[in-house]
Structure 1
Amino acid sequence: MNKFIKLAAHRIIRVVGRMLYRKHIWLISDRFWCAGDNGEAFFKFLQSKPINSVFAVSKSSSDYERLKKIGKVVPYDSPEHKLLLCIADVSASSHDCHIEGHPETPQFFLSHGITTRDYHDYYNKMNHRNYHTIVASEQEMDLITKPPYNLNAEQVFLTGYPRYDYLVNERSEKIITVAFTWRSYLWNLRKEDFKKTDYYTIYSSIFYSEELIRMITSHGYSIRVKLHPETERFRDEFSLPVGIILWDENTSYSEIYEKTSLMITDYSSCIYDFVYLKKPIIYYQPDYQHIVDSGIGPQYIYDYKDSGMGEVTTTVDELKKCVKAYLETDCKMRPIYEKRANDFFEYRDRNNCNRVYKEMLKILCKE
């Protein structure tokens, strides 16, 4: 019943609000506590267009004042933000949970990570007749417009990601970044239990491999760790050896990609931004078989060896061997993975924002 009440209230507010509030608003966001994703990139682009765009982010976020220098910003979840959710011409976000599932408002999921694995539950939950999303490759388009996804081809636009328009590869430093995605079992986990998890054990197997660390530092490289936003709350639980540091949580992903020469990840989709810059990655997946057998992470199941963008390792010894090979070539991406990256991405012309913009205009013209 609450769902129907909410929907009815939205319809009433939308009708009345759009009569009284005659500004045509495009409401944009990323995560509620931070920007730096496709939402921000598209918001920057819109400042040069005849569009009244508004970005929503928490007022306590370090991005709030920064974005105010770019354009109009409202505090996330404030009365004004809630009103704009109802009356905006379009609502667009890189995270689905921040665009209300109301079919009266055209909604664009600007996506957060490349979809090469099974996320149909995620998409199907939010889908409705006025729901749209973007992809960066034909492979993604083919995946999410077929069962078990309930999206059709008219809802999915092959535009490329807005944030890719702003990626640059001109200031790499001798930095190796370790960046893992999160695990569902970390939800609601007490901080004092974090070090007991397999997740922390896997991280530690890298940190406390003296041979690996010595090899990296002897080549003049440093090691940094980028925590997934959902694991930032465990930041103080990480006990890191001297010489390994955590990236500041306010450092943008784009800056990390630009400065990093080699990335070590597990299953994170952030690697696609990195290989877009033609930089090498190594997968470190000692828990892959456990994930497959247990069913705790079906979204991580993928043919990494034949379709991934880097070498797949499952032990520290395998990881050391791969890292050593890259250090000896100044972290140059191997041809096999450069070809896979070139074949994967549809566009590299820095015109992704404009393609998204044109698709939105087409949808609004149909309204």
Structure 2
Amino acid sequence: MLGDRYTYDAFNANIYDLLFGFSIREMPISGFIPRIRHFKNHPELLNDEHWLPLNEQYDVLVRPYSTVSERLAMRLIPVPVETVEYYADPRPLLGLDPTKKTIVCYEYPDKAQDNGMIFFKYLVDQHRKHFNIYYIISRSSPDLKNLAGYENHIVFYKSPENIEVVQAADVLCHTHSSSYALPFSTYRTEQFIQEKHKIFLQHGVTGSKDVSSIYGKKLPHPFTNLFVVSSEREKNLIERDYGFDADEIVVTGMARFDQLITERSRWLKRYKNRKKILIMPTWRPKLDTYPDEQFMESDYYQEFQALITDERLKNLVMDNKYEVSFYLHRNFQKFSHLFHSDFVDVVGQDVFTVKELLENHHVLITDYSSVGLDFSLMHKKVLYYRPPVLIGEDNAGESTDLLPGDIIESREALMESLRELKMPKRFKRNLSHIYAFDDTKASKRIFEAMQHHFHL
């Protein structure tokens, strides 16, 4: 079930639903195959670690669990034998200084290109004398090159050291789920993560899309303990809709914006005459679970496929010598091969980092993605393409005057907006309402807030 193409040292997001069915040879009864019920408060959930040998190098964790609708599902997680042995019998490996607090940073297990990486580098550069500081990343990640020079502070995902450093951690600095810190998730490890101090560095400014179902507080097991935001507007939103108390939210700005603001002038001069347009929509819940055929029937696919093959866009490209790239959200990258165009470049996630894509393009077309703010802080034009078929229930209904670009509801209007590639001045003036700072001290503010809140 793992498949031949599965990379064992990477994170495996596959979920297997368990169904029950039977047939009688003499006569058909029904083609319906029911899901197996599994109640959330069932005591068997507390015993969810079932280890089986996979091969000489790996064991596999078979973890049953109850879904939101209380149906039985399971995950299969390959883990190196040496890591399983360490998990059962831990011992010192890294030589951590016991007189120092330990801080661990991470993004997705295979990524190092966002707030987690930037904040990690700041910590190592400024505070390594006073803290044990580590970054978790998979051994096969193409982003390892982004951590060059910091090798002594890297711990490989699914290694015995991965277990050790998380067990020793005083603070977990995460950009997505805090559970990505460990190579597998069980009832025992989830309880373990809950006992740690956690700071959510975020991976985008919250506002355009309601993600409270993922990042809400959810007592008695809060998603995080300290929530980083970029403005008073965002703080009020997180307090009102996500369930966090005011003292659990810190207005510091995002670590990656330090680098963005530092390099803004260079980018604008270097790419002043570039006519490159980036189409970068975000993902949609549930669609990421669809097989290819079902995904191609969705309004999402049909609208963006129609956009990148639109003859009017093609004429704009040819007449003005534009270059257009189309890049799907990480959760939709597996569908990239379904999109095609003879004048738009469909870009895979391993070709460029998001930072490189934003840097190398002059206009961004998105729907709800928070990268719109990153782009606007570089004083570059953002267009929010939101035809009626793409409006989802997870839209937070934000005030349009807080967006750093026009909302476009039709392809006709989009083509007209693309005749001018410069950012309108009115949006430059509004940036302070979305991002409260115009300096390069966000990482410093995050560290000071973390130090104060967790008494480091």
Once the two structures are superposed, residues 262-310 of structure 1 have per-residue CA deviations (whole angstroms, 9 ceiling, x without a partner) of 111111111111111121111111245x64xxxxx43324246443221
| Partner of residue 140 from structure 2, selected from 60, 68, 80 | 60
Secondary structure of residue in 1 paired with 2:345? strand
Q: Which residue of 1 aligns with 2:319?
A: 218
**Code of the aligned partner of 1:310:** G
Structure 1 residue 236 displacement after superposition = 1.6
Structure 1 residues 213, 70: closer, same or farther in 2, change over 3 A? farther
Structure 1 residue 240 displacement after superposition = 1.8
Q: Which residue of 2 aligns with 1:145?
A: 239
C-alpha separation in 2, matches of 1:340 and 1:66: 33
The structure whose Rg is larger is 2
Structure 1 residue 130 displacement after superposition = 6.9
Q: Which residue of 2 aligns with 1:104?
A: 195
Give % identity. 26
Structure 1 residue 144 displacement after superposition = 0.9
**Code of the aligned partner of 1:365:** H
| Partner of residue 290 from structure 2, selected from 186, 189, 213 | 189
Report whether the alignment pairs 1:33 with 2:110. yes
C-alpha separation in 2, matches of 1:53 and 1:212: 48
Once the two structures are superposed, residues 213-243 of structure 1 have per-residue CA deviations (whole angstroms, 9 ceiling, x without a partner) of 22133222200112111111112222222x3
C-alpha separation in 1, matches of 2:224 and 2:291: 39
C-alpha separation in 1, matches of 2:167 and 2:402: 42
Tell me if the contact between 2:258 and 2:443 (Cα under 8 Å) persists in the aligned partners: yes
Tell me if the contact between 2:198 and 2:225 (Cα under 8 Å) persists in the aligned partners: yes
C-alpha separation in 2, matches of 1:208 and 1:129: 41
Once the two structures are superposed, residues 321-351 of structure 1 have per-residue CA deviations (whole angstroms, 9 ceiling, x without a partner) of 1112x2xxxx221122222223321111011
Structure 1 residue 157 displacement after superposition = 0.8
C-alpha separation in 2, matches of 1:194 and 1:87: 43
Report whether the alignment pairs 1:299 with 2:379. no
C-alpha separation in 2, matches of 1:279 and 1:207: 21
Report whether the alignment pairs 1:131 with 2:225. yes
C-alpha separation in 2, matches of 1:61 and 1:118: 30
Structure 1 residues 2, 52: closer, same or farther in 2, change over 3 A? farther
Greater relative contact order (Cα < 8 A, sep 6+) = 1
**Code of the aligned partner of 1:212:** L
Q: Which residue of 2 aligns with 1:9?
A: none
TM alignment of 1:199-214, pairs within 5 A: 199-214=300-315
TM-score (norm 1): 0.85
| Structure 1 or 2: more helix by fraction | 1
Tell me if the contact between 2:202 and 2:228 (Cα under 8 Å) persists in the aligned partners: yes
Tell me if the contact between 2:404 and 2:431 (Cα under 8 Å) persists in the aligned partners: yes
C-alpha separation in 1, matches of 2:417 and 2:171: 46
Structure 1 residue 249 displacement after superposition = 1.4
Once the two structures are superposed, residues 237-268 of structure 1 have per-residue CA deviations (whole angstroms, 9 ceiling, x without a partner) of 22222x31123413122222221111111111
**Code of the aligned partner of 1:178:** I
| Partner of residue 94 from structure 1, selected from 175, 178, 181 | 175
TM-score (norm 2): 0.70
C-alpha separation in 2, matches of 1:259 and 1:65: 19
Structure 1 residue 17 displacement after superposition = 7.7
C-alpha separation in 2, matches of 1:140 and 1:4: 37
| Partner of residue 333 from structure 1, selected from 407, 423, 427 | 423
Report whether the alignment pairs 1:70 with 2:150. yes
Structure 1 residue 104 displacement after superposition = 2.9
Secondary structure of residue in 1 paired with 2:165? helix
| Partner of residue 165 from structure 1, selected from 221, 238, 258 | 258
Once the two structures are superposed, residues 75-127 of structure 1 have per-residue CA deviations (whole angstroms, 9 ceiling, x without a partner) of 22333213322221211111124356634321011111111153332222385
Moved over 4 A (4+): 1-6, 15-18
Structure 1 residues 305, 361: closer, same or farther in 2, change over 3 A? closer
| Partner of residue 337 from structure 2, selected from 236, 250, 258 | 236
Structure 1 residue 5 displacement after superposition = 7.4
Secondary structure of residue in 2 paired with 1:193? helix
Tell me if the contact between 2:276 and 2:361 (Cα under 8 Å) persists in the aligned partners: yes
Structure 1 residues 65, 281: closer, same or farther in 2, change over 3 A? closer
Structure 1 residue 66 displacement after superposition = 4.0
Q: Which residue of 1 aligns with 2:211?
A: 119
Structure 1 residues 79, 155: closer, same or farther in 2, change over 3 A? same
Structure 1 residue 43 displacement after superposition = 1.1
Indicate the RMSD between aligned Cα atoms, in angstroms.
2.8
C-alpha separation in 1, matches of 2:141 and 2:233: 35
Task: Give unpaired runs (5+ residues) of structure 1.
Answer: 7-11, 292-296
Secondary structure of residue in 1 paired with 2:105? strand
Q: Which residue of 2 aligns with 1:175?
A: 276
Q: Which residue of 1 aligns with 2:75?
A: none
C-alpha separation in 2, matches of 1:261 and 1:68: 29
More displaced stretch, 338-347 vs 226-235: 338-347
More displaced stretch, 248-257 vs 105-114: 248-257
Task: Give unpaired runs (5+ residues) of structure 2.
Answer: 1-42, 49-86, 182-189
Q: Which residue of 1 aligns with 2:347?
A: 247
